[in-house]
Amino acid sequence: MTDAIATRPPKRLLRDRLPVVHQLRQSVGLQRGMLVAGLILTGLFIFTAIFAPLLAPYGFNQLRDIDGPFGSQQPPSSAHPFGTTVGGYDVLSRTIWGTQTALLVIIAAVVLSIFAGVFLGLVSGYFGGWLDRVLVVICDAIYAFPSLLLAIVMAIVISGGQSSLWGGVLAAAISISVVYIPQYFRVIRAETVRIKAEAYVESAKVLGASNSRIMVRHVLRNATRTLPLIFTLNSSEAILTLAGLGFLGFGIEPTAAAEWGYDLNKALADVSSGIWWTALYPGLAIVLTVLGITLVGESLNDLADPRLRGRRRVAKASGAVAETSVVPGGTLIAGPGGLDGLEDGESFEEHGIEVKS
């Protein structure tokens, strides 16, 4: 992607420049199948979220209609195709409305963590110095910690545990984004450190460009190529974290919004008595949504890595293949070892770059 400047044709077609469309055209065979399947599932999820008010037969907190109350734990019937919950809600409606909550939380969480993570990573990588070292150590510490526990702590801090729709969505989003800021931070910082050494940054500096101009125009523009991948991988983690929080009782109140994790928490007791419909559908909704987003993310990840792009010859040429760099957990060498360099007075840069031997 970086040599696009050197070989830039007069005008690249729009369809080649759009992130996902480009990869779709680039992919072949099995990889294309996975990407398409992921895109369909994700599209379905977004579609359901947007049109939830039209698709859902009842409201998410509706307990009765003109025929009277729905009743508790009713098995699937024509009036309630997925049955009703122990609290007397319609399972189908709550599953559909749940997509909306999930989408809102993903958007809020990812936007928050992208902004904070990208900003911190850019500043830290570009200026270096003590700020960089402190931020790296903090992010490494957070990164190594179980994300769900951190999200729980954050949820307590923000909402004290119980919340309304917007309060709940925001609390969940902030809790989740605190967990994922280190990931964006690491990737952007590593890229920034690499790009900073490029000749064109040097020349911009010589020309007298200001720091902020260099950071935005020269570094950030080139450092964002991996963002779509982290974006997808984090959205799926955000859904799982939200569901985990809901399952532990830190979800959004059922009267404020529908949330799958909360519904599964309430369904836990049902399962022991053989009531399957209250657990199955919200659970499946989580699985399919995460599956769809992850399939997209995985395909983008593989397509971005020439060693995994599906041609065996390429893999052969590049020698030992470690884990792909962007997937969480692939940044071990850059992990807590970052401080090691400090002790030796070594330049800090190379620990951030995710080179694996």
Under the binding rule (CB under 8 A), the answer on residue 319 touching another protein is yes
To another protein, the closest distance from the beta carbon of 107 in angstroms equals 20
Does 347 sit near another protein (CB under 8 A)?
Answer: yes
Tokens of 144: 């190594």
Q: Is there binding between residue 304 and another protein (CB under 8 A)?
A: no
Three state DSSP letters for the chain = CHHHCCCCCCCCCHHHHCHHHHHHHHCCHHHHHHHHHHHHHHHHHHHHHHCHHHHCCCCCCCCEECCEECCCCCCCCCCCCCCECCCCCEHHHHHHHHHHHHHHHHHHHHHHHHHHHHHHHHHHHHHCHHHHHHHHHHHHHHHCCCHHHHHHHHHHHHHCCCCCHHHHHHHHHHHHHHHHHHHHHHHHHHHHHHHHCCHHHHHHHHCCCCHHHHHHHHHHHHHHHHHHHHHHHHHHHHHHHHHHHHHHHHCCCCCCCCCHHHHHHHHHHHHHCCCCHHHHHHHHHHHHHHHHHHHHHHHHHHHHCHHHCCCHHHHHHCCCCCCCCCCCCCCCCCCCCHHHHHHHCCCCHHHHCCCCC
Applying CB under 8 A, the span of 76-84, 113-121, 144-152, 217-225 interacting with another protein comes to: 144-152
Residue closer to another protein by CB (options 10, 146) is 146
Of 1-9, 47-55, 78-86, 277-285, the segment contacting another protein by CB under 8 A is 277-285
Q: Of the candidates 4, 18, 111, 271, which one interacts with another protein according to CB under 8 A?
A: 271
- 268 near another protein, judged by CB under 8 A: yes
Kindly state the tokens that stand for 24.
């779709």
Give 64's strand partners.
69
Site string for another protein, 98-137 (x = CB under 8 A): ----------------------------xxxx-------x
Between 92 and 242, name the residue whose CB sits nearer to another protein: 242
Tokens 């960089």, located at residue: 132
Instruction: Between 229 and 290, name the residue whose CB sits nearer to another protein.
Output: 290
Nearer to another protein, 13 or 355 (CB): 355
CB 99 within 8 A of CB 284: no
- Regarding 355 and contact with another protein (CB under 8 A), the answer is no
Segment contacting another protein by CB under 8 A, of 5-13, 50-58, 68-76, 143-151: 143-151
Between 13 and 52, how does the x/- string for binding to another protein read (CB under 8 A)?
Answer: ----------------xx--xx------------------
Stretch that binds another protein, among 3-11, 16-24, 86-94, 289-297 (CB under 8 A): 289-297
Nearer to another protein, 58 or 262 (CB): 262
Residues numbered 149 to 208 that lie near another protein (CB under 8 A) are 149, 152-154, 156-157, 160-161, 196-197
Residue 306 found at the interface with another protein (CB under 8 A): no
State the nearest-atom distance from the C-beta of 324 to another protein, in Å. Answer: 7
Question: Which residues 206-225 are close enough to bind another protein by CB under 8 A?
Answer: 211
